[in-house]
Amino acid sequence: MSGLSFFGDALLSLMTWQTLFDAAWATLLGIMIGSLPGLTATMGVALLTTLTYQMQPTQAILILICMYVGAIYGGSRSAILLNIPGTPANAATSLDGYPLAHSGRGGYAMGIATSASAIGTVIGILFLAVSAPLLSDLALDFGSFEFFWLALFGVIISGQLTAMGNPLKGYIAGILGLLVAMIGMEGIHAHVRFTFGIRDLQGGIGLIPAMVGAFGFAEVLTVMHRKRAEMVSTKFDRVLPRLRDLWRYKFTAARSGVIGTFVGIIPGVGEDIGAWASYAAAKRTSKEAKDFGKGSVEGLTAAETGNSAVVPGALIPLLTLAIPGSAPAAVLLAALYIHDVNPGPMIMINQPTFVYQIVAMLLIATIGITMFGLSLTKPLLTVLQIPRERLMPVVFVLCVVGPYAITQRFFDVLVVLFFGVVGFFLRRMGYPMAPLVLGIILGTLIDKNLRRGLTLTDGDPSPFFTRPISMIFCILVVLTILLSIGPVRRAAQGIGKRAWSIVARKS
């Protein structure tokens, strides 16, 4: 069967009243969670994962994907009206969305954000449908040596790009995650490590409690720590975007969608980098660059298209390599394992229709955010008026009850509290959370493949450096680390400029 036939069958299988109802409420809940500053997409997916534990796999995964797409889109509401991004992915949105709202065009800004988010997600969906089978075939050539470097590259590049002001902090966060992953029984010989005599640590640190703590409880503490913002206005102009504006910035939307998708493919980077990269590219090439940051419709389009395109892009390495492209995708990976779905190179052989089911789910979620975003703008604004003093205790209860419900262990509640407090202080000091969580996820993969590769070669490490794909990833890791060092990066930039000037003179 062709990919189109698989997609058609997958879409038809989801056309039931129960499925559409689940998609509707999950998307709407995602928009509401994304709208509230402090309730991130990662937190929403993590909390909902604990509540979908007993559901059928297809139903649970559909709900989580709709939550993911809805939350990334929903963050634009508070970014536009409060100048506070609902999620980190919407930080670039506030640059032009808030000035538009301040000038009395808040409704139109939210309409543009809705259309741009839908366009970005559709572009990402197309890349996912086309590239996932191809990448899955390529991944069949990966062995222990390649997966070691790929996982290590994921942690390094995540640390580099999520802490752009100080990559060292990103690396430290990633290393902390790797250290946490080493706790408990190792995966080959079941030898117990780093438990310090604590029996509850023998099974390791649970991924869901750690992520709920780092992204959930830490967010609760962060939100309660800062001052509350006031909404700029509750009166709005038209919401439905004008077709001429959408057509005018079609190339900006297309470019931002492609950029966002490729940013999503990079392990652990996330939607915020996709938005900023798309915004920077649009500003660099725009004829209206002087209007960026002052209420530019083009800037708002670029930011929202870019962050939404990251969502399908982040699922490409997740499905084909079992390596998440973003923090919410990392939680989704844990949910897939919980529901007995094993992503990786063999997925197109063992479960060839599953990738197209994901594509169909994303398409349904995109239709959901478009319908809710354009028709329920004013009712959804009441969500922003919920006092945080009433909301955060409810979120805290969900942070505690959810992880406990999965394993029935009080120890997991302590893990949530520990990672929440540690995450709060790390954020206060400027350390990103994405590399920490990615380190926890990929630490086991790095450990197993390193030792498995050395076992296959009787302790000879040379294949890690001489096999073609391994060599490429090794070079990428070394270059990423070197270019994060200020003097080395400036020297490389100087050499590049001189080389370019020489080439320009000769031509």
Q: Which amino acid is at 169?
A: K
Provide the total of helices (H) and of strands (E) in the chain, helices listed first.
Answer: 24, 2
Asked if residue 404 lies in contact with residue 169, where contact means CB atoms within 8 angstroms, the answer is no
What's the per-residue H, E or C state across 156-182? HHHHHHHCCCCHHHHHHHHHHHHHHHC
The string of pLDDT tens digits covering residues 141-199 is 778 888 888 888 878 877 776 665 678 888 888 889 888 888 888 767 778 888 887 88
Q: Which amino acid is at 394?
A: V
Q: Rounded distance, CA 274 to CA 264, Å?
A: 7
Asked if residue 125 lies in contact with residue 362, where contact means CB atoms within 8 angstroms, the answer is yes
Asked if residue 400 lies in contact with residue 413, where contact means CB atoms within 8 angstroms, the answer is yes
CA-based nearest residue to 216, from 45, 11, 426: 45
The pLDDT score that the predictor gives to residue 25 is 93
Q: Rounded distance, CA 348 to CA 133, Å?
A: 7
| 229 pLDDT more than 60 | no
Q: Rounded distance, CA 245 to CA 402, Å?
A: 44
The string of pLDDT tens digits covering residues 310-351 is 999 989 888 888 888 887 888 888 888 888 888 877 787 777
The CA-based angle 226-229-234, given to 5 degrees, is 160
pTM of the predicted model, to two decimals?
Answer: 0.80
Contacts of 285 (CB under 8 A, 6+ apart): 255
The CA-based angle 147-354-8, given to 5 degrees, is 140
The string of pLDDT tens digits covering residues 354-406 is 888 999 999 999 999 999 988 877 776 676 667 767 777 877 887 787 777 76
CA-based nearest residue to 399, from 123, 211, 121: 211
The DSSP symbol for 484 reads: T
Asked if residue 275 lies in contact with residue 260, where contact means CB atoms within 8 angstroms, the answer is yes
The CA-based angle 4-364-30, given to 5 degrees, is 145
Spell out the long-range contacts of 392-396 with Cβ–Cβ below 8 A and sequence spacing 24 or more: 392/38, 392/220, 392/223, 392/224, 395/39, 395/43, 395/47, 395/216, 395/219, 395/220, 396/217, 396/220
Flag the least confident range among 54-68, 111-125, 443-457, 476-490.
Answer: 476-490
Cα distances from 345 to residues 144, 318, 328, 491, in angstroms, run: 13, 10, 21, 39
Stretch 447-455: mean pLDDT:
87
**Which residue has tokens 């844990």?**
334
Segments making up each domain of the chain, as ranges: 3-466
Contacts of 467 (CB under 8 A, 6+ apart): 143, 145, 146
